[in-house]
Structure 1
Amino acid sequence: MDSLYLDFLKGMLKPLAATAVVLMAVVLSFAQNLGLEKEMVYSIARAFLQLSVIGFVLEFIFSRENAGWIVLAYLFMVVVAGYTAGQRAKHVPRGKYIAVASILAGTSVTMFLLVVLNVFPFTPRYIIPVAGMMVGNAMTVTGVTMKRLREDLKMQKSLVETALALGATPRQATVQQVKRALVIALSPVLDNAKTVGLISLPGAMTGLIMGGASPLEAIQLQIVVMNMLIGAATVSSITSTYLCWPVFFTKAYQLETKVFTTE
Structure 2
Amino acid sequence: MDQKWWINFLKGMLKPVAALTVVFLAVALSRFKKLEIEGEMIYSIFRAFLQLSIIGFVLQFIFNQGNISWIILAYLFMVSVAGYTAGQRAKHVPRGMYVAGASILVGTAVTMLLLVVLNVFPFTPRYIIPVAGMMVGNAMTTTGVTMKRLRDDIKLQINLVETALALGATPSQATVQQVKRALVIALSPVMDNAKTVGLISLPGAMTGMIMGGASPLEAIQLQIIVMNMLLGASTLSCIISTYLSWPYFFTKTYQLESKVFSSD
Q: TM-score band (shorter)?
A: over 0.9
Could you tell me which residue of structure 1 aligns to residue 225 of structure 2? 224
Match of 2:234 in 1: 233
Between the aligned partners of 1:228 and 1:147, the Cα distance in structure 2 is 24
Matched AA of 2:11: K
Q: CA deviation at 1:8?
A: 1.5
TM-score, length of structure 2 as denominator length? 0.99
How far does residue 3 in structure 1 lie from its aligned partner after superposition? Answer: 2.8
- Cα deviation, 1:15-49, whole Å, max 9, x if unaligned, reads 00000000000000001111110000000000000
Partner of 2:94: 93
- Please report the TM-score for the alignment, with normalisation by the length of structure 1: 0.99
Kindly report which structure 2 residues correspond to 1:1-263, keeping only aligned pairs within 5 A, or say none: 1=1, 2-263=3-264
Q: By how many angstroms is 1:240 displaced?
A: 0.2
CA distance in 2, matches of 1:92, 1:3: 52
1:77 is displaced (CA, Å) by: 0.2
CA distance in 1, matches of 2:5, 2:243: 47
2:5 & 2:234 partners in 1: Cα distance? Answer: 37
The percentage of aligned residue pairs carrying the same residue is 78
Q: How much has 1:232 moved relative to structure 2?
A: 0.1
Listed one character per residue, the Cα deviations across residues 168-197 of structure 1 (whole Å, up to 9, x for unaligned) are: 000000000000000000000000000000
Deviation per CA, 1:143-191: give whole Å up to 9, x if none: 0000000000000000000000000000000000000000000000000
Q: Which amino acid aligns with 2:17?
A: L
Q: 2-side partners of 1:35 and 1:132: how far apart?
A: 33
Query: Could you list the runs of 5+ residues in structure 1 that have no partner in the other structure?
Result: none
Q: Report the 3-state secondary structure (helix = DSSP H, G, I; strand = E; otherwise coil) of the residue aligned with 2:19.
A: helix
**Structure 1 residue 5, shift from structure 2 partner:** 2.4
Cα displacement (A) at 1:4: 2.5
Structure-2 separation of matches of 1:258 and 1:30: 44
Deviations 1:99-122 (A, max 9, x none): 000000110000000000000000
Find runs of 4+ consecutive structure 1 residues off by over 3 angstroms. none
Offset of residue 10 of structure 1: 1.2
CA RMSD, 1 decimal: 0.5
- Amino acid in structure 1 at the alignment position of 2:191: L
Number of residue pairs aligned between Structure 1 and Structure 2: 263
Structure 2 residues not aligned, in runs of 5+? none
CA distance in 2, matches of 1:168, 1:105: 28
Deviations 1:200-253 (A, max 9, x none): 000000000000000000000000000000000000000000000000000110
Q: For 2:258 and 2:45, locate their aligned partners in 1 and report how far apart those are by CA, in whole Å.
A: 42
Shift of 1:63: 0.6
d(CA) in 2 for partners of 1:36 and 1:7?
35
